[in-house]
Copies of this chain bind each other. A is one copy, B any other.
Amino acid sequence: MKLLEERIQRDGKVFEGNVLKVDSFLNHQIDAPFIRELGREWKRLFEGEEITKILTIEASGIGIACIAALEFDVPVVFAKKTKTVNISDDVYKSQVESFTHKTVYDIIVSKEFLTSDDKILIIDDFLANGKALEGLIDLCEAAGAEVKGIGIAVEKAYQPGGDLIRSRGYRVESLARVQSMTVGGGVEFAD
């Protein structure tokens, strides 16, 4: 999506350690009117798919997912990150390995809000190693919910997550696919 690529070129900042900061419009400050355009693009891409709910993960996925949900006219449910050991029977749980923070954390979603009737669009801000996405897919599988598609804002196409998830048969629509980036230099996009 040209609009997002241009915004990343303009406002994204590349740091050592494979870090692309887009926190001026995507995940600390959120440019809501701009994000609405992303939501409209996902709506266009997934036109014809029956979606009953958007699933995302806290914290940075929530804003994007809620804005996109208005385009789809559906509710959002967000998976919560937790270190709580005692997980009650009324939640589905999965584990996610964080490369950034070198930790493993649990994600949970209430069984009440993810069911076998749901046709899910997963939305998240970043896709790199795909671990968070795998966790969200796990939750859907546990609930018997059908994953109709996955909408990502920024995919790091040089990392394995996108290929991994697509090879499992899921449709992943990333609005910007970063091919390479250089500290102090620019960002290049795939396709």
A interface residues, Cβ below 8 angstroms from B: 23-25, 28-33, 35-36, 58-59, 62-67, 69-70, 73-78, 80, 109-110, 112-113
Asked if B78 and A36 sit within 8 Å, CB to CB, the answer is: no
Asked if A32 and B63 sit within 8 Å, CB to CB, the answer is: no
Of the listed residues A25, A30, A33, A109, the one surrounded by the most CB atoms of chain B closer than 10 A to its CB is: A30
Asked if B77 and A28 sit within 8 Å, CB to CB, the answer is: yes
Asked if A75 and B23 sit within 8 Å, CB to CB, the answer is: no
> Provided the pairs A62-B63, A67-B66 are in contact, do residues A32 and B76 lie with their beta carbons within 8 angstroms?
yes
Looking across the interface, which residue of chain B has its beta carbon closest to that of A71?
B32
**How distant is A117 from chain B, measured CB to nearest CB, in Å?**
14
Asked if A78 and B59 sit within 8 Å, CB to CB, the answer is: yes
**How distant is A49 from chain B, measured CB to nearest CB, in Å?**
18
Contact partners of A69 in chain B: CB under 8 A: 30, 32-33
Contact partners of A31 in chain B: CB under 8 A: 75
**How distant is A103 from chain B, measured CB to nearest CB, in Å?**
13
Contact partners of A64 in chain B: CB under 8 A: 66
> Provided the pairs A30-B76, A75-B30 are in contact, do residues A23 and B110 lie with their beta carbons within 8 angstroms?
yes
- Complex Cα distance, B66 from A8, in Å, reads 20
Contact among B32, B33, B77, B110 for A30, CB-based, below 8 A: B77
